[in-house]
Amino acid sequence: MTTHKADKIIACITAIPSGMVASYGQIAELAGIARGHRVVAKFLKQDNSVSDLPWHRVIRADGKLGFPIGSRMFLQQMTQLKVEGVVAKNNRIDMKRYAWQPTLDFILFHPDL
């Protein structure tokens, strides 16, 4: 992955406010990566700088976490979201309630995009 794409992904993930979530596809779209939900997932899986990012705020578009239920990463992500006030019901986040809606200013003028 190019550094430019990685920088855009990082900028988008960093901008997700506490208590909100975004889908892999939404991050890809904001970063200008067409059909890039898999690119974002791969970046989060492989990049060493992820530990500094609020990676736990990135989930699937259907509100499910990207890890198997009960796995260590699933529990870690669910715990971090709960600390921020994001409540899951039946292991699913309500996207209508918690989905991040970036402002037009962010979309048009964010310097890293």
In a domain, 21, yes or no: yes
In 41-111, DSSP assigns E strands to: 58-59, 88-89, 92-93
Reply yes or no on whether the pLDDT at 84 is more than 90.
Answer: yes
Query: What CATH number does the domain containing 91 carry?
Result: 1.10.10.10
Reply yes or no on whether the pLDDT at 109 is more than 80.
Answer: yes
Element (H, E) at 30: helix 24-30
Question: pLDDT value at position 1?
Answer: 63
Cβ neighbors of 107 (< 8 A, separation 6 or more) are: 30, 113
The pLDDT tens digits of the residues spanning 10-37 come to: 999 999 999 999 999 999 999 999 889 9
In a domain, 103, yes or no: no
pTM of the model: 0.90
Expressed as residue numbers, the domain containing 17 is: 3-98
Domain count, the chain: 1
